[in-house]
Structure 1
Amino acid sequence: MVGTAASTPGYLRKHGTPASIADLASHRCLVYMHGGQSVPWSLAGPDGNIARPELAHRLGFDDIDTIAAAAIRGAGLVNVPLWLVREPLDQGTLVRVLPQASVIRTPLHLVWPRTRFLPHKLSVTIDLLVEAIPGVLALD
């Protein structure tokens, strides 16, 4: 699964566009919370090494849909799965930031109970997902 960092054109006009990963420290970042802790952003730096910048986050939520919705309303910068914000990006509601700092790809797994015989409806569902997901997650 591919993620992206983004914000609204209005936020970027008002607060500026970060030019580097280090610039994120001075921005309003919206973060994913898990167990009361913010989950760090993982970005590939210019040297290819993984960077996990310190973020002075403005808001944190335990729901990525809520994070994306807050960003669309101009609350700050987000780092969310690309599939979640593809439409707002295509419409110009959101703008990708730090495209040179590619967001780390996260593996996506299908998990089902171990069974001797795979039910037909599960087999069909798996086949449909395997066919559809690459197009949904594609960068272009």
Structure 2
Amino acid sequence: MDRLTAARVFVTVAERGSLTQAAAQMEMSTAMVSRYLAALEAWLGARLLHRTTRKIGLTEVGSAALVSCRQLLDLAEDLQHQAAERGRVATGRLRITSSASFAEAQLAPALADFQRLHPQVSFALLVADRSVDLTAERIDLAVRITNSLEPTMVARPLALCRSVLCASPAYLRQHGTPGTPQALQSPAHRCLTHAIVGAAQFRFRRGSELIELPVTEQLSTNDTAVLRRAVIEGSGIGILPTYFVGDDLRQGRLVRLLPELEPETLGIHAILLSRQHQPLALRLLIDFLAARFGGPTAPWDR
């Protein structure tokens, strides 16, 4: 039995609700459709359809099998598409969106390196600290930092986004170094926050415990670069992603505080509208980013 064809027959029958209509759509006889269905049921060892003279319905096993058969057909189509493009040169223009800070610190250098490997690929990079409508903006790839993924989107993990509570050496000389989380709530300290990530509070993990610490904001901004600059200039204490301030920590422009507490970790994901019919350039880029940023530890945390 050609199981791929049998799966396609089963999906078509389930969608059309009729063996006759499915046979017409697939340009085969009704008897052939019945034979494929019977062979698939024999292979799976279960009845997939309730057949009456008036209509066809899915059994409980059939409902589960329908999902798996659709996934199988999608995978087969994707493999066929990849095989057809093997050996071709990646070309075209890709529209990408990312937060401004990640684009500046990590994505822009990665895209430049990718173009050295694939010089016929060009990019339009839209930076925004908000969720861009991928359909309306005709976006091919969104790089998003979040733990809340939309169920309709296709996501591939790229890396983990870790953050640090930090301040400048000048700030610590003037205000002292906080020894406990509660010290951050003291009038002696100035707290700076990201308006989108954690307005008016700092969020930490201590083991499995989530600590939400309300703070009095001296500055709140929706731009990570502005927050970094304010912390470096000694305006206060803030939480910043390590992909953006790794060099600042290594070179002493910033000092990590309360290392026993870890600010909440977020996922960095490649977001797509669909797995189907991806251009060669897009597939190669996603693989490139996953290899560059992935692994047990992100490159900026090594």
- Indicate whether the TM-score tops 0.5: yes
| RMSD of aligned Cα (Å) | 1.7
1:29 matched to which residue of 2?
Answer: 191
Query: Is 1:136 the counterpart of 2:296 in the alignment?
Result: no
Contact kept in structure 2, 1:72 and 1:93, CA below 8 Å: yes
Aligned residues: 136
Q: Distance in 2 between matches of 1:40 and 1:93?
A: 24
Offset at residue 39 of structure 1 (A): 5.8
TM-score for both structures, normalised by structure 1: 0.88
- Say which is worse superposed, 113-122 or 70-79, in terms of deviation: 113-122
Q: Distance in 2 between matches of 1:128 and 1:29?
A: 38
The structure with the larger Rg is: 2
Q: Distance in 2 between matches of 1:130 and 1:121?
A: 14
Identical-pair percentage: 26
Any idea what SS the aligned residue of 2:269 has?
Answer: coil
1:78 matched to which residue of 2?
Answer: 238
1:98 matched to which residue of 2?
Answer: 258
Contact kept in structure 1, 2:200 and 2:217, CA below 8 Å: no
Report which of the two has the higher share of helix. Answer: 2
Offset at residue 137 of structure 1 (A): 4.4
Inter-CA distance 54–93: structure 2 relative to 1 (3 Å threshold): same
Report which of the two has the higher share of strand. Answer: 2
Q: Distance in 1 between matches of 2:247 and 2:291?
A: 20
Q: Distance in 2 between matches of 1:48 and 1:100?
A: 13
1:112 matched to which residue of 2?
Answer: 272
1:42 matched to which residue of 2?
Answer: 203
Give per-residue Cα distances to partners, 1:17-66, cap 9 Å, x unaligned. 111111111221110113xx826321124x64111111111001011111
TM-score for both structures, normalised by structure 2: 0.43
Q: Distance in 2 between matches of 1:28 and 1:114?
A: 45
Offset at residue 102 of structure 1 (A): 1.5
Contact kept in structure 2, 1:2 and 1:137, CA below 8 Å: no
Inter-CA distance 137–42: structure 2 relative to 1 (3 Å threshold): farther
Contact kept in structure 1, 2:204 and 2:261, CA below 8 Å: yes
Inter-CA distance 126–39: structure 2 relative to 1 (3 Å threshold): farther
Unaligned residue ranges in structure 2 (runs of 5+):
1-160
Q: Which runs of 4+ in 1 moved over 6 A?
A: none
Offset at residue 119 of structure 1 (A): 1.0
Unaligned residue ranges in structure 1 (runs of 5+):
none
Q: Distance in 2 between matches of 1:24 and 1:49?
A: 18
User: What is the one-letter code of the residue matched to 1:15?
Assistant: H
1:5 matched to which residue of 2?
Answer: 165
Give per-residue Cα distances to partners, 1:81-129, cap 9 Å, x unaligned. 1111101111100000010111221122210121521111111111121
Inter-CA distance 137–104: structure 2 relative to 1 (3 Å threshold): farther
User: What is the one-letter code of the residue matched to 1:29?
Assistant: C
Any idea what SS the aligned residue of 2:270 has?
Answer: coil
Q: Distance in 2 between matches of 1:38 and 1:119?
A: 39
Q: Distance in 2 between matches of 1:15 and 1:55?
A: 16
Q: Distance in 2 between matches of 1:44 and 1:23?
A: 17
User: What is the one-letter code of the residue matched to 1:44?
Assistant: R
Q: Distance in 2 between matches of 1:14 and 1:39?
A: 23
